[in-house]
Amino acid sequence: MYIIAIGWLYVTLLVAANEATVVAGIISFLFYGLLPCGLLIWMSGSKVRRQRQRYRESLASQRPHQDDGADPKADQ
């Protein structure tokens, strides 16, 4: 996945270097390279982020009193 993103950024960098002005090159690199590539990587990582969140929630539900430092036996 990352090799495709690197290749795409390389191609858009070459296209941006071929633009008439520096401003046009920066704009074309941003809108044809960085933004679509960043969006693609962010969308492809959403499944991993959801899995990590579920894992953290399952750990929190298994150990409810370890995070707050409270002693559940002190109240009884």
Q: Residue 71: its pLDDT value, please?
A: 60
Range 47-54 contact pairs with CB under 8 angstroms and sequence separation of 24 or more: none
Instruction: Please state the rounded mean pLDDT for residues 49-56.
Output: 88
Q: Could you state, in order of their start, the residue ranges of all structural domains in the chain?
A: 2-61
Q: Residue 33: its pLDDT value, please?
A: 94
Q: Residue 63: its pLDDT value, please?
A: 76
**2, 21, 46, 70 from 9: Cα distances, Å:** 10, 19, 21, 51
Q: pLDDT-derived band of residue 60, with 50, 70 and 90 as boundaries?
A: confident
Question: Please, what is the Cα angle at 20 between 18 and 25, to 5 degrees?
Answer: 65
pTM of this prediction?
Answer: 0.61
